[in-house]
Amino acid sequence: MQDIESYYAKLRNEVTEKVNRTMESPTDFNYLSAQVKIETDEDLSSSTLKRFFGYIPKNGTPSRTTLCILSRYLGYKGWNDFCQDMSESGFIADDCIITSDLSKDDIVHFEWAPDRVYEAKYLGNGRYEVTVAQNGTLGVGDKFSASGFTLNHPLYMNKIERVSNCGSSAQSNYVAGYKSGLTNIELVKKKSDNSTED
């Protein structure tokens, strides 16, 4: 069975595509909340949506109600129907790197159009640190959270800590490859260390 986070990521991706917003500002979430109400006649607050998309800190996993309403917004009968369709649609683990499968210090190489090339070291607890940054907004040393990396899908980076020249940092969110998704992903396992620790 696939990691549940991959299902959450796919749901976020499909909702983002349908609503045609970047989900990077409060107005995006207010708009999505209104669209959900129009299409499903069900209420889903902008605060709930912000938590689901990682715009604000979330407590635990999304509620089943949230997952069902968003699934119905996409035209499914509910969350189970969405998961069933995803299982049958060819969304395969070979095209994904799931955060929960990684070990500390593993390196993920990822790229997106037009010429963004990045590598990030896994720190544990869902956090990454950028180690290679070419032609993009994020820089070496910046940290972010992500549930995983999926080829041909956007990468949602949450709780970004950007390290400035003076050493201070600020948290924000970022979507990499919003239009065409990640064009290349590769897991570079950490090098084995022959030395032993006591």
Positive/negative CA dihedral, 1, 58, 167, 175: positive
SS3 content of the chain, % helix, strand, coil (to 5): 30, 30, 40
Choose the final residue of a domain: 91, 108, 125: 91
* Average pLDDT of the residues in 71-81: 91
Whether residues 65 and 117 share a domain: the answer is no
Q: What domain range is 11 assigned to?
A: 4-91
**Gap between the terminal Cα atoms of the chain:** 37
pLDDT of residue 94: 45
Per-residue pLDDT tens digits for 133-188: 999 888 999 999 988 898 888 888 888 988 765 555 556 778 888 777 888 999 88
Please state the domain count of the chain: 2
Q: Are residues 29 and 80 in the same domain?
A: yes
